[in-house]
Amino acid sequence: MAQIDDLPPLRDVIAAHGLNAKKSLGQNFLLDLNLTSRIARSAGSLEDCTVLEVGPGPGGLTRALLAAGAKRVIAIEKDSRCLPALAEISAHYPGRLEVIEGDALEIDPVALTGRDKVRIAANLPYNVGTQLLINWITTPQWPPFWSSLTLMFQKEVGERISASPASKAYGRLAVLAGWRCKGGILFDISPKAFTPPPKVTSAVVHLTPNLSPLPCDLKALEKITAAAFGQRRKMLRASLRSLTPDAEDLVTKAGLKPTARAEEIDIAGFVELANTFRAAQAV
């Protein structure tokens, strides 16, 4: 296993601080420093930016990010038991690690990072990972405050993020991510790499902002995709009826077939649907 710094092995850190992973917090600690270093490298050049990390736990990825040259790491940790272990890392890398105790869903990342160039890199807790991603890719201001996302999810979630039309995994998440971002799954990580081992394979996803997404009202797109995929087995003329009684006319005006189902519509099609829906509301 790689030796990236002079700090104790992660297993020793976990034992010393009694950091048994809590299922209620979605914790699975990644101990292999070869893998955490690979994730850090996948985030790109870190020397001139602030890295935002969510759920650092005992600090395996944190250490890899700092060893890879991150100018500054801001780590948000909900579990107060992990703070002493993270304090040891902070002392080893003076002035480069700031630890925020709190819930990442309730903390404004823009206020934390200021005007710095920001990369987000994290082994996200399983129970909040998808919601955090949605928050980051649906921020009203675009381009966003971040320049890249390098995130670990359950592989199933990674496949939903990068799915193509007509595939089983294609849904609302793929449309939102594909509309505003570029990228996808980089590599898988076996359950054996974690403590405790999860029941599923994980995947590291890397996304960068699409600086010129198709013009579209975000709220309209969210409503359209939620309705369409909420009843994905139904034809659009039926699934969109929850938004408008004239669903068939809406779909036709968008240049799509009313008998099509959500999984058949590409991102451009959903953008056209959203724009048509938004225009109809403005009348």
Q: Quick: pLDDT tens for 24-53.
A: 877 888 988 899 999 999 999 999 999 999
Q: From residue 40, how far is each of 68, 74, 86, 121, 135 by CA, in Å?
A: 7, 14, 17, 7, 22
Binding-site annotation, residues: 28, 30, 55, 77, 103, 123
Binding-site annotation, residues for S-adenosyl-L-methionine: 28, 30, 55, 77, 103, 123
Same domain, 62 and 29: yes
Q: Is residue 89 part of a domain?
A: yes
Same domain, 200 and 222: no
Tokens of residue 103, six digits: 């819930």
Same domain, 154 and 261: no
Query: Which of these three, 162, 189, 209, is where a domain ends?
Result: 209
Residue 110 CB contacts under 8 Å (≥ 6 apart), including other chains:
145
Query: Which of these three, 209, 226, 247, is where a domain ends?
Result: 209
Provide the CATH number for the domain around residue 86.
3.40.50.150
pLDDT at position 1, please? 46
Burial class (CB in 10 A: 0-12, 13-18, 19+), 205: buried
For residues 162 and 181, what is the distance between their CA atoms, to the nearest angstrom?
Answer: 10
Q: pLDDT tens digits, residue range 199-239?
A: 999 999 999 999 999 999 999 999 999 999 999 999 999 99
Query: Residue 150 is inside which H or E element, if any?
Result: strand 146-154
Same domain, 129 and 166: yes
pLDDT at position 137, please? 97
> Given the structure tokens 């013009």, which residue do they identify?
215
- Smallest CA-to-CA distance from 40 within 16, 11, 72, 69 is with 69
**Contact 241/265 with Cβ under 8 angstroms?**
no
Above 70 in pLDDT, residue 283?
no
Same domain, 234 and 148: no
Tokens of residue 1, six digits: 């296993």
Number of Cβ within 10 Å of residue 214's Cβ equals 15
Tell if the pTM clears 0.85, that is, is over it: yes
Query: Which of these three, 209, 229, 257, is where a domain ends?
Result: 209
Q: pLDDT tens digits, residue range 140-164?
A: 999 999 999 999 999 999 999 999 9
Q: Is residue 248 part of a domain?
A: yes
Q: pLDDT tens digits, residue range 170-207?
A: 999 999 999 999 999 999 999 999 988 889 999 999 99
- What range does the domain containing 266 cover? 218-282
